[in-house]
């Protein structure tokens, strides 16, 4: 016997299955989205709704079935069959709401779920009270279980797939999924039912023993359950939709709040202050960032009060810009100085925009204010360095360019700027700059009166000494105390109001060239590390420029010097060439002249020889008659041929004297001629000087006596020898002694002495006679020269004696010289080479020893 199904109830059960599936998907999404207590609540409520949905699909399916005999269901068992899908749903919702669900989890969870649903069916069958034996087709039962597990897996997978989907987009897909799933669940139920066979047990027909706790199968019951379930499911779906909407809205609000935070942080990250005003541009609410930055209170900056925190010079400009922006309803951009809470003015850049309402009305103004002090400084520094670079490159006159750099530095970088260079061991102030020329003069005068101490611990001299920069952000009063020379100096320094300074060395190629000093005074500015870096960069560039200029000048100078030297060299060469030409010319002339001279000399020699020969012949020829004259005069004087009276005797005497004179004259001339003609032979030998000179005395003695002269000979070392011809030396000495006798008045003093030098012997003849006038001295050695011919005639001279004597002396490698003073006396010195004598050998030995 097989039963039949009520078609409308079957459709109702399928609708329940589909709605349940749809509700399950919605619930999965809610449970996943909810957190904490809400999640648990959704899990519990969802499990009950879903479980009841599955159960009621099953139970309505059961109620749609009839086998022609009365059927009833045991209520407790039915209730138990409802509990099982609730638990299975709880498991399913728990699994899908996990943050991460792997396919393995889905597979593992699908098995108990499918079994639970199958279990629900089995329990449901157990609740059936009917007078029939129920058997099952095992293949269909297995298929039903498989479908249950498969449907569970599909349900889980789909729930996971759609749990996070935006419902507005995924609605239709979820519907399709719900349809598939619903039909699958229903399919499982009806497959299982198809596998059930009912064999009626014959009992009393028309009666059914129904237990008191059992309910009868009626269509009314089925419809009641179906409607109740659908209502419940609709309620759940509606709840989930409402919840989703609410959640979405609160999420939107949260996102909006976050977004605002994010934008505010974003603006604050680049700007120090964000502020808002009302539509009229008046501040009407507290501005926390403005307060933090300026330290001002709300009362102070409300309305237009914020202007009070601006630098007095910037207030009017800022107010005008703001007013203009309010009028034109456009973006307001401004830059002004704002006094920070610590009193320092900071350069701030502000940008304010109107916030419009949809109608075009301004709702409020929003502004961002950024501290651009540092970047403005950086910009100024860059611009300043660029200008400095231009100035330094403009000229090689570095003193001029440094003065211009100092002018650039004021007031951009300092109230005062001084540049000093090391020059010749001292310092040279190349520039002092201040906006007020009177102050510059004042400082120059001050420095002149109180020059800086070279051993100062701070400032320019310290920097030059150490090569290290020096900065003082805040010049303390004690520094002025120690720097000042006296009270007046201190007072004068105070009037300058120096606040802060930087001194940096000018260093190029590791050599300190000077220093740049920057000082802040009346502006009240203070130097910081950034300024120091800028000053150092300035000094570095200036030093390079100085060094380059100096190198250039040096090179130029060297080049000019080289050029000059080259020019001089060229000139010298030209001169030399000229001199060379002249020399060559002179040489040629000289050669010519030498040849001429040689010819002249030869001619002269020939003439001389002829003269000498003539003189020699003449002298000889003259001597013969003279001797005859003398002989005959003597015969007459002897009176052999008759007595001669006194007058005759006197005449004879004169004849004899003149004959003698003439003879002497002739002898002298002959001698001189011989010497001049080189015909004299010298027998040079070592002559013992002392012995030779001593022997001369005897020869001169008669003349000395006749004139009653006192004669002294001062003897010397007997061993000393002279290298000479003894006869010639005697001739010279006799001549000298004869002159001394002749030219000294009777009763005079004549001295002969000698001395030895290392290589020479000097023999001196001294008298205290009338001497020789100074101007005549050189002439007396010339032949035939007599100082006073008249006088000499009476003294019987020829003027040849000294000429002959000097010729002889020189021929023996000696000399004859004179010293004389008129009226006092004369000294003649005969110098002769010294011979190898005992005295000299001794002296040599002593020297060696
Ligand atoms: P002489 O004696 O024959 O005149 P010398 O040649 O010996 O010629 O001397 C030249 C001149 O030098 C002399 O005439 C004389 O005027 C001067 N003279 C030479 N010796 C002396 C002397 N000892 N004192 C002064 N005058 C002298």
Sorting pLDDT into bands at 50, 70 and 90, what band is 164? low
Angle at CA of residue 752, ends 747 and 757, nearest 5°: 160
Query: By mean pLDDT, which of 206-220, 382-396, 543-557 is the weakest?
Result: 206-220
Contact 58, 120 (CB under 8 A): yes
Sorting pLDDT into bands at 50, 70 and 90, what band is 176? confident
Structure confidence by residue, pLDDT tens digits, 116-125 = 888 888 888 8
744 CA closest ligand 1 atom index: 24
Cβ-count burial 539-568 (b if 16+ within 10 Å, e if not): bebbbebbbebeeeeeeeeeeeeeeeeeee
Beta bridge partners of 830: 763, 816
Contact 738, 700 (CB under 8 A): yes
User: How many whole angstroms separate alpha carbon 732 and alpha carbon 730?
Assistant: 5
pLDDT at 539: 92
pLDDT at 205: 52
Span 146-150, average pLDDT = 84
pLDDT at 211: 61
Mark residue 196 as left, alpha or beta (left: phi above 0; alpha: psi -120 to 50; beta: remaining): beta
Contact 502, 462 (CB under 8 A): no
For residue 711, the CA-to-ligand 1 centroid distance in Å is 19
pLDDT at 45: 84
Sorting pLDDT into bands at 50, 70 and 90, what band is 269? confident
Span 789-805, average pLDDT = 72
Span 811-820, average pLDDT = 94
Contact 726, 692 (CB under 8 A): yes
For residue 87, the CA-to-ligand 1 centroid distance in Å is 176
Mark residue 113 as left, alpha or beta (left: phi above 0; alpha: psi -120 to 50; beta: remaining): alpha
753 or 168: which leads in pLDDT: 753
For residue 772, the CA-to-ligand 1 centroid distance in Å is 9
pLDDT at 61: 84
For residue 793, the tally of other CB atoms under 10 A from its CB is 11
516 or 836: which leads in pLDDT: 516
Residue 422 pLDDT more than 60? yes
pLDDT at 685: 92
pLDDT at 792: 52
Contact 419, 405 (CB under 8 A): yes
Contact 230, 91 (CB under 8 A): no
pLDDT at 536: 93
Structure confidence by residue, pLDDT tens digits, 375-408 = 888 888 888 889 888 888 888 888 888 888 899 8
pLDDT at 577: 92
Sorting pLDDT into bands at 50, 70 and 90, what band is 726? very high
Query: By mean pLDDT, which of 495-504, 563-572, 672-681 is the weakest?
Result: 672-681
Q: Which of 79, 108, 83 is nearest to 94 (CA)?
A: 108
Helix 7-33 vs helix 167-194: crossing angle, to nearest 10: 140
Highest mean pLDDT among 254-268, 385-399, 412-426, 710-724: 710-724
pLDDT at 223: 85
pLDDT at 768: 94
828 CA closest ligand 1 atom index: 23
Span 708-726, average pLDDT = 93
Span 546-552, average pLDDT = 89
3-state DSSP call for residue 678? coil
pLDDT at 7: 85
- The string of DSSP codes covering 175-212 is HHHHHHHHHHHHHHHHHHHHTEEEEE---STT-----T
* CA-proximal residue: ligand 1, atom 23 (nearest): 740
* CA-proximal residue: ligand 1, atom 1 (nearest): 797
Residue 358 pLDDT more than 60? yes
User: How many whole angstroms separate alpha carbon 84 and alpha carbon 88?
Assistant: 6
pLDDT at 212: 62
Cβ-count burial 23-35 (b if 16+ within 10 Å, e if not): bbbbbbbbbbbbe
Percentage of the chain exceeding pLDDT 70 = 95
pLDDT at 301: 92
Q: Which two tokens stand for residue 36?
A: 């904490």
Sorting pLDDT into bands at 50, 70 and 90, what band is 705? very high
For residue 750, the CA-to-ligand 1 centroid distance in Å is 15
Strands (E), 777-824: 815-821
Query: Residues near ligand 1 with C-beta < 6 Å?
Result: 739-740, 743, 767, 769-770, 772, 780, 785-788, 792, 797-803, 826
740 CA closest ligand 1 atom index: 23
- Measured between its terminal Cα atoms, the distance across the chain in Å is 174
Residue 485 pLDDT more than 60? yes
Residue 309 pLDDT more than 90? yes
Q: What is the mean pLDDT of the chain?
A: 85
Q: Which two tokens stand for residue 156?
A: 């889980």
Residue 501 pLDDT more than 90? yes
Span 154-165, average pLDDT = 74
Mark residue 584 as left, alpha or beta (left: phi above 0; alpha: psi -120 to 50; beta: remaining): alpha
The total number of residues written for the chain in this structure: 849
Q: Which of 767, 797, 824 best tests ligand 1's pocket when mutated (most atoms within 8 Å of CB)?
A: 797
Structure confidence by residue, pLDDT tens digits, 53-109 = 888 888 888 888 877 777 788 888 888 888 888 888 888 888 877 777 788 888 888
Highest mean pLDDT among 224-238, 411-425, 823-837: 823-837
Provide the sign of the torsion angle of the four alpha carbons 681, 684, 689, 692, taken in this order. negative
User: How many whole angstroms separate alpha carbon 176 and alpha carbon 170?
Assistant: 10
Sorting pLDDT into bands at 50, 70 and 90, what band is 290? very high
Residue 619 pLDDT more than 70? yes
Q: Which of 32, 49, 38 is nearest to 162 (CA)?
A: 32
Beta bridge partners of 506: 514
Q: 411: cis peptide before it, omega within 30°?
A: yes
DSSP H or E stretch at residue 347: strand 345-356
pLDDT at 711: 94
- Between the CA atoms of 806, 809, 814 and 819, what dihedral angle is there, to the nearest 10 degrees? -40
Q: Which two tokens stand for residue 342?
A: 């610590």
Percentage of the chain exceeding pLDDT 90 = 29
The pTM for the full model equals 0.41
Q: Which of 711, 739, 766 best tests ligand 1's pocket when mutated (most atoms within 8 Å of CB)?
A: 739
- Map tokens 């709702």 to a residue: 363
For residue 72, the tally of other CB atoms under 10 A from its CB is 19
pLDDT at 712: 94
* CA-proximal residue: ligand 1, atom 20 (nearest): 739
For residue 793, the CA-to-ligand 1 centroid distance in Å is 11
Q: Which of 672, 711, 802 best tests ligand 1's pocket when mutated (most atoms within 8 Å of CB)?
A: 802
Span 292-321, average pLDDT = 92
pLDDT at 721: 93
């Amino acid at each position: 016997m097989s039963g039949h199904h009520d078609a409308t109830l079957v459709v109702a059960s399928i609708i329940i299955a589909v709605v349940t599936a749809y509700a399950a998907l919605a619930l999965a999404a809610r449970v996943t989205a909810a957190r904490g207590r809400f999640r648990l609540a959704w899990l519990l409520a969802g499990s009950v709704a879903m479980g009841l949905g599955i159960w009621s699909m099953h139970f309505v399916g059961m109620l749609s079935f009839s086998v022609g005999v009365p059927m009833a269901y045991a209520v407790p068992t039915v209730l138990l069959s409802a509990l099982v899908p609730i638990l299975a749903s709880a498991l399913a919702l728990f699994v899908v709401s996990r943050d991460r669900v792997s396919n393995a989890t889905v597979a593992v969870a699908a098995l108990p779920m499918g079994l639970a649903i199958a279990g629900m069916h089995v329990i449901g069958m157990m609740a059936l009270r009917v007078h029939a034996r129920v058997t099952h087709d095992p293949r269909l039962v297995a298929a039903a279980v498989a479908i249950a597990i498969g449907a569970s897996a599909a349900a889980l997978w789909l729930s996971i797939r759609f749990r996070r989907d935006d419902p507005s987009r995924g609605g239709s897909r979820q519907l399709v999924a719900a349809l598939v799933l619903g039909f699958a669940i229903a399919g499982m139920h009806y497959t299982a039912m198809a596998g059930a066979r009912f064999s009626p047990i014959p009992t009393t027909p028309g009666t059914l023993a129904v237990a008191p706790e059992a309910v009868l199968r009626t269509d009314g019951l089925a419809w009641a359950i179906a409607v109740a379930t659908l209502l419940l499911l609709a309620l759940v779906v509606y709840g989930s939709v409402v919840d989703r909407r609410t959640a979405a809205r609160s999420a939107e609000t949260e996102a909006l709040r976050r977004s605002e935070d994010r934008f505010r942080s974003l603006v604050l990250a680049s700007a120090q202050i964000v502020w808002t005003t009302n539509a009229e541009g008046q501040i009407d609410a507290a501005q926390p960032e403005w307060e933090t930055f300026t330290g001002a209170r709300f009362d102070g900056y409300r309305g237009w009060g914020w202007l009070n925190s601006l630098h007095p010079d910037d207030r009017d400009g800022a107010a005008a810009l703001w007013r203009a922006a309010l009028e034109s309803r456009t973006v307001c951009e401004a830059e002004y100085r704002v006094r920070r809470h610590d009193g320092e003015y900071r350069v701030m850049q502000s940008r304010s925009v109107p916030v419009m309402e949809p109608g075009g009305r301004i709702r409020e103004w929003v502004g961002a204010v950024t501290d651009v002090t540092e970047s403005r400084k950086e910009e100024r520094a860059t611009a300043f360095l660029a200008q400095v670079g231009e100035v330094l490159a403009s000229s090689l006159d570095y003193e001029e360019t440094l003065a211009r750099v100092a002018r650039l530095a004021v007031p951009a970088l300092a109230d005062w700027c001084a540049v000093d260079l090391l020059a010749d061991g001292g310092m040279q102030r190349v520039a002092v700059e201040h906006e007020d020329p009177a102050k510059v003069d004042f400082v120059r005068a001050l420095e002149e009166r109180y020059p800086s101490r070279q051993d100062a611990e701070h400032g320019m001299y310290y920097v030059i000494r150490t090569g290290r920069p020096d900065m003082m952000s805040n010049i303390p009063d004690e520094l002025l105390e120690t720097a000042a020379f006296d009270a007046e100096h201190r007072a004068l320094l105070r009037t300058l109001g120096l606040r802060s300074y930087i001194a940096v060395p000018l260093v190029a190629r590791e050599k300190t060239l000077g220093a740049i000093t920057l000082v802040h005074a009346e502006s009240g500015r203070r130097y910081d590390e950034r300024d120091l870096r800028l000053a150092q960069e300035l000094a570095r560039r200036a030093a390079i420029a100085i060094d380059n200029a100096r190198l250039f000048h040096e090179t130029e100078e060297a080049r000019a010097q080289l050029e000059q030297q080259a020019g001089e060299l060229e000139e010298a060469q030209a001169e030399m060439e000229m001199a060379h030409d002249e020399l060559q010319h002179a040489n040629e002339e000289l050669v010519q002249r030498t040849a001429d001279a040689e010819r002249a000399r030869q001619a002269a020699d020939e003439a001389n020889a002829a003269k000498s020969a003539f003189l020699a012949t003449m002298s000889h020829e003259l001597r013969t008659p003279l001797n005859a004259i003398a002989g005959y005069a003597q015969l007459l004087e002897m009176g052999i041929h008759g007595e001669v009276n006194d007058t005759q005797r006197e005449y004879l005497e004169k004849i004899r004297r003149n004959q003698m004179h003439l003879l002497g004259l002739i002898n002298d001339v002959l001698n001189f001629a011989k010497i001049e003609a080189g015909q004299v032979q010298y027998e040079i030998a070592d002559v013992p000087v002392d012995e030779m000179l001593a022997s001369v005395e005897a020869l001169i003695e008669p003349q000395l006596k006749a004139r009653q002269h006192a004669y002294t000979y001062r003897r010397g070392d007997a061993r000393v020898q002279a290298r000479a011809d003894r006869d010639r030396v005697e001739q010279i000495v006799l001549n000298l002694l004869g002159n001394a006798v002749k030219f000294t008045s009777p009763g005079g003093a004549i001295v002969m002495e000698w001395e030895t030098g290392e290589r020479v012997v000097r023999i001196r003849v001294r008298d205290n006679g009338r001497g020789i006038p100074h101007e005549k001295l050189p002439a007396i050695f010339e032949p035939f020269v007599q100082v006073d011919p008249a006088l000499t005639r009476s003294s019987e001279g020829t003027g040849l004696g000294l000429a002959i004597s000097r010729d002889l002396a020189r021929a023996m490698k000696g000399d004859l010289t004179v010293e004389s003073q008129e009226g006092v006396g004369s000294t003649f010195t005969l110098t002769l080479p010294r011979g190898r004598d005992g005295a000299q050998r001794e002296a040599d030995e002593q020297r060696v020893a």
